Amino acid sequence: MTAAVLAWALTQIECGHKVVMASVVETSGSVPGKVGARLAMRSSDESWVGTVGGAGLEMMVLKRSRSMLIEHHLPAGEVLTFGLNKGAKGYEVTPLDSLCGGRVTLSLEVLVPMPHVLLIGGGHCAQAIAPALDALGWSHSIHDTREDFCNSETFPNANHHLHMGIDSFVSHHSAEVLSQYSDVLFLGHDWSEDQTRLLGMLTCLQAEGASMNGQDAPRIGVIGSRSKWQAFEKAAKGIGVTEDTLAQVICPIGVHIGAESPQEIAVAVVAQILASYKGVNPLEPTWRD
């Protein structure tokens, strides 16, 4: 059972879902779940596998797991001790209405997937960004309509090489499929291709009511000038994309450091993603300010 729970949790993380792993780490007396018993819950629909003993103990653990998935966007953990009778005492013990009479201590850990960035357009900027993502141990996938810019030679470490037409890309990338990515970067060589992709993606996510925060749905960033964004914005509004949805799109992308070359842009973009992942505002003063 333990191996199955761990394998399930790893699969969920690889699919972009947060997971809470609850593990029995210490017991005394009569308890339903022995040391090593595990339960895991994923963020997308709060489904879970495994057991830490069932009954009231498990209900309490499931309740706390749900809360932790909501409260924490970064790795976190806590240790809880339950006394399995309603008269259990001690400041560190939560009493349960149980007749087992023992005591059980569990660790609850929030496991957060590393960023997985979908690079749309395999040109110079994407080719500079990809190795920067590799250096951090993050994942990336690549999409381009041009085969030479979407293959294992150009992007040897990409999880997925999505060489396909625009219509196929838009129809394939439902909200569920997009949920595997933490970020989507529009870096295409053809503005009209990027516009079609972007409008399809925004329409899909808006219909699902998904928030583009890197948790419910990927953060979306678009490279380009003011005039390019204004054209995209006008086209999006023309098909019913709301101001609230458009406001969630990051354009221009990257921390403002005067980046010009593809390599400089890669530094700026990866720094921005890192700040979002860590929940840090790079403009906030440091301890010396």
Query: Helix and strand tally (H, E) in the chain?
Result: 9, 11
Indicate the average pLDDT of the chain.
90
Name the residue with tokens 């333990």: 2
- 168 with 254, same domain: the answer is yes
Amino acid at 121: G
Query: Looking at the domain assignment, is residue 288 inside a domain?
Result: no
Instruction: Copy the structure tokens of residue 88.
Output: 């259990």
Q: Of 91, 111, 131, which residue is a domain's last?
A: 111
Q: Would you state the pLDDT for residue 103?
A: 80
What are the residues whose beta carbons fall under 8 Å from the beta carbon of 7, sequence distance 6 or more?
none
Q: Dump pLDDT digits (tens) for 208-217.
A: 999 999 888 9
- 123 with 191, same domain: the answer is yes
Q: Dump pLDDT digits (tens) for 146-164.
A: 999 999 999 999 999 999 9
Range of the domain at 80: 2-111
Question: For 66, how many CA atoms within 13 A lie in the half-sphere containing its CB?
Answer: 8
Q: Would you state the pLDDT for residue 94?
A: 43
Rounded to whole angstroms, the Cα distance separating 23 from 2 reads: 10
Instruction: Find residue 159's DSSP bridge partners.
Output: none
Coil/strand/helix, residue 46? coil
Q: Of 111, 138, 154, which residue is a domain's last?
A: 111
Rounded to whole angstroms, the Cα distance separating 25 from 82 reads: 12
Query: Looking at the domain assignment, is residue 286 inside a domain?
Result: no
Q: Would you state the pLDDT for residue 101?
A: 57
Amino acid at 247: A
Q: Would you state the pLDDT for residue 62?
A: 92
Rounded to whole angstroms, the Cα distance separating 57 from 84 reads: 8
Q: Would you state the pLDDT for residue 100?
A: 54
Q: Of 111, 144, 161, which residue is a domain's last?
A: 111
Q: Residues in the chain with pLDDT < 50?
A: 88-97
Query: Tell me, what CATH number does 207's domain have?
Result: 3.40.50.720
Supply the pTM of this predicted model.
0.83
